[in-house]
Structure 1
Amino acid sequence: MFTVLPAAGGYTMSENTKVIARIRRLMALGTRNSNPHEAARAVALAQRLMQRHGLTPDMLSLHDIQESVCQNLTSNAEKVPAWLSSLATVVCMATGCRCWFGWHIHTSCSGVKSVRRSLHFYGFSGRAEVALYIYTVLQRQLRADTDGQIAGYRKRRILKNTLRRRADQFREGWVSGVWQVLQSFAPSECENSMLQRWLAQRHTGDTLGNVNVRAAGKCRGDRAARVAGWLAGRDTEVHQGLTGAQAQQQITAGGCTHE
């Protein structure tokens, strides 16, 4: 997993959406038309458009990769908490996506601006949208479960530092437990290659660095907090009809070829 280091400038994807849409329609006409002459003309026109605009079949596949962004993360720390990084990884493994952590400018209702963390999922065939949905649901549930666990700790006299560490231990255990709910979905070798190329193109001019992760600190009662988190995560329901194999059915559309 990567994080985008702060840099000047934005980005623009090189593909022309309207041109690619027209090429796709022509390609579809060429493969489905029963009249061989009309089919040949459609394919020839599509190829001329690709040559004119410098598009290749690989670029068309790259265009099928979509991005979904979460700008409401639980933590905005420079060092990403291990449980947050793990949760993003679990969602990627369950949806066949990839992700990276970035930054964005947040403007409050009062007009105050601040820099906050963002999480970007990217993948084929709408998988990024599913990944964002699953992540949002899980993050909300994790926050609620953590609040419930901390409420129990506050009834006793516990140091604030110990309280924070137990919360992190609970969260790490929770993410481990929630993995029992989801199933792994591995992209094909071809898709992995295309995803890597898309990421490089997406961040042309930017610097990608490894995520700086902060693991939960040890404290008195950390093991019990982690086990409690694991049990809570294991009992989590992503959504009615969107857990386990049913979630996988919604993200496995398509294969290595995306034309």
Structure 2
Amino acid sequence: MTAGDNEKLLRRIRKLMALGTRNNNTYEAARAVRLAQVLMQRHNLSPEDLALGDVQEAVSYQIYSDAISIPGWLNALAAVVCMATGCRCWFSWHHSATRTGQARRRRSLHFYGLNERPEVGLYVFTVLSRQLREATDLHMHSAYRLKRLKVQTKRNRADQFREGWVVGVWNVLESFEPSEKESGVLRNWLTQRCGNQALSELNVREARSCRGDSKARESGWMAGRQAQLSQGLNGQASQLKALSVIGGKDDE
């Protein structure tokens, strides 16, 4: 059975299961469930196999750092997005062509989770990344434009500002942790997704200490608390509603 045929089978079984739980006709509901069970037994499928079919993946290619060592602020931003949307993620690489046609190795970030959560995670990450970049540029221009500083000191303060900004965002977002059952499904999916290529240990580079780092970090924290998810990406209000649903706010 090809991957396409297997996906069609899983969709059919999930549809039958849905009919079995939503149909008011007892006979038709039981018949749908029995047919789903027959198909699962015939193709040696388990409930876990059905759950794996609900896991989706969304990839961001707009990463503002291609460093081998992931900046601490970037790793923290990805973690905050996962925390808020119930996703998981990993960093990877892809190749893109430069203006001269040469291949360039670039960073990518893969979100994975149940149903629409990865798409929401990608949306939130894209919006926050843009706002972080704008906030950092504004801070560096307004705070240090007229000051004579070493290039490395400016870079360190920028990283301190970014890390503070992400902490500020984390303070205002609500946390959503998938259930243990869902976490198990995601672990199994990732194992199948990666195959023989196990994920390696992530090398994270924290912001370096420097003169004025505390002030830069505090400025970032205050700016991060003003982040707005409703801005910056084609006005996708439906995505924000999905985020609140994912967090369980509409389940009460």
Q: Does the pair score TM above 0.5?
A: yes
Q: Determine which structure has the larger helix proportion and give its number.
A: 2
Partner letter of residue 129 of structure 1?
E
Q: Which residue of 1 aligns with 2:15?
A: 25
**Matched residues in 2 for 1:165 and 1:66: separation?**
37
1:107 to 92, 97, 102: 97
Distance 1:48 1:109, change over 3 A: farther
**Matched residues in 2 for 1:230 and 1:34: separation?**
53
Structure 1 residues 106-115 or 171-180, which shifts more? 106-115
SS in 2 for 1:16: helix
Partner letter of residue 60 of structure 2?
C
How far the C-alpha of 1:234 sits from its partner, in A, is: 1.1
2:244 to 223, 245, 249: 249
Structure 1 residues 25-34 or 75-84, which shifts more? 25-34
Distance 1:190 1:14, change over 3 A: farther
Counterpart contact for 1:130–1:251, Cα < 8 Å: no
**Matched residues in 2 for 1:131 and 1:248: separation?**
8
- Which protein, 1 or 2, shows the higher relative CO under an 8 Å CA cutoff with sep ≥ 6? 1
Partner letter of residue 140 of structure 2?
I
TM-score, structure 1 normalization: 0.85
Deviations 1:49-104 (A, max 9, x none): 22233321111111111111101101011000000000001111111111111111
Counterpart contact for 2:84–2:247, Cα < 8 Å: no
Q: Which residue of 2 aligns with 1:195?
A: 186
**Matched residues in 2 for 1:112 and 1:212: separation?**
27
Counterpart contact for 2:111–2:121, Cα < 8 Å: yes
Partner letter of residue 49 of structure 1?
L
Q: Which residue of 1 aligns with 2:201?
A: 210
Q: Which residue of 2 aligns with 1:4?
A: none
Root-mean-square deviation (CA, aligned residues, Å) is: 2.4
Distance 1:16 1:221, change over 3 A: same
**Matched residues in 2 for 1:253 and 1:165: separation?**
39
2:211 to 201, 215, 220: 220
Count of matched residue pairs:
241
Identity %: 54
Q: Which residue of 1 aligns with 2:120?
A: 130
Q: Which residue of 2 aligns with 1:76?
A: 66
Structure 1 residues 170-179 or 189-198, which shifts more? 189-198
Counterpart contact for 1:65–1:198, Cα < 8 Å: yes
